[in-house]
Amino acid sequence: MTKSPMARALALASRGRGNTSPNPMVGAVVVNATTGQILGEGYHHRAGEPHAELLALRQAGDQSRGQSLYVTLEPCNHTGLTPPCTDAVIAAQIRSVHVAVLDPNPKVSGGGIEKLRQAGITVRVGEFAEAAYALNLPFFTWALYHRPLVILKSAMSLDGKVATATGQSKYLTHAAALALAHEQRRQADAILVGLGTVLADDPSLTYRGRRRGRDPVRVVLDSQGHTPPEARLFHHESQAPSLVLTSDRASRAWERDIFTAGGEVVRLPEDPSGRISLTAVMEELAERRLDRLLVEGGPTVHSAFIQAGLADQWIGFLAPLIIGASGLSAVGGGYAWLSEAPGLAIRKIRKLGEDGVIEADFLASPVLQLPLSLVEEA
């Protein structure tokens, strides 16, 4: 017996973290409507495999008849890589379905619960809605705003410097922080840096953690086409593509060299400052179903995302060092008045080995608040 079947469903859903994209993480629990005893449970493991509802119903078997199903996201009512979940729920003769949040996907939105109700099943929406929304924030950001969730990541000294005056930056933080940074890469669909980072550090931008995982898509912002074809990101063995986002100012000869090296060049419009339009970048990545973007770029790139209003979350790794004023700051630019500085809500502060980690949300981000449309029953 459990006091909160939906909480259990959310815990199950989180087991799919980093593996289900472009699908959302979903958990489901079948319980005895009278006693609350769990009869079956499941979660979505990865795209193309059975959905959570089907796994929970399979485990419960004939015991599902007349009982309750708790699911963290509205069951789908269309055929994709798998059959509609609504059909399986109806066939199992479930009496009531509890849904945490509606699916904003136009193929599903409202249609799943409508089909269930037409079959005589009682449907309730909204239990643990905020937690369910937060769990799948990248998916909801893509579905509602047609762009990835943007997470700015930086490793810095206690006084906010990412490098010394001579450019030395490897490695500010220690092993535990590095492991968490790679876990962030494992969960990301894409990782983005600017040309400056490629020239200064020559990173491979791959996932090198202990857990099973895949590399994110590597993305470089390079408005004029100066990324070296011999850069490691093109030659490090990986199944993930490497994209260089540039403008029409880049030469065709350079583009051919990047293609020969194994990269893909995508030409996008520039903004008034002559840099690649970040709005166009977001659209390009959204079209590729890259829902979670980890920005590991330097101060200029971080500043550009903040100025464009496209920064959603911040993760800062703090090394126990003081570099001083001559060092390179984590974010470029600056503000003359405190009232102009972007505000953040600190979500978590913790000590990690010798280092510290701060996770925060940008207050100006529109994607962090649960939209009422996801809990208003159709």
Q: Dihedral sign for Cα 107, 112, 115, 118, please.
A: negative
Tokens of 316: 């800062």
Residue 1: per-residue pLDDT? 42
User: In this structure, are residues 275 and 304 in contact, taking their beta carbons and an 8 Å threshold?
Assistant: yes
pTM (two decimals): 0.92
The predicted structure's pLDDT at residue 108: 61
**What are the structural domain ranges in the chain?**
5-135, 141-362
Q: Which of 41, 53, 255, 284 is catalytic?
A: 53
74 is catalytic: no
Asked whether the beta carbons of 279 and 308 are under 8 A apart, the reply is yes
Residues 6+ apart with CB under 8 A from 101: 72, 73, 74, 125, 126, 129, 132, 133, 370, 374, 375
10-residue mean pLDDT profile of the chain (378 residues): values are 83 94 95 95 92 96 96 84 84 96 76 92 96 97 96 95 87 90 94 94 89 90 96 90 97 97 97 94 97 94 96 97 92 91 96 96 96 81
Tokens 């101060």 belong to: 299
**CATH superfamily to which 5-135 belongs:** Cytidine Deaminase, domain 2 (3.40.140.10)
| CATH architecture type of domain 141-362 | 3-Layer(aba) Sandwich (3.40)
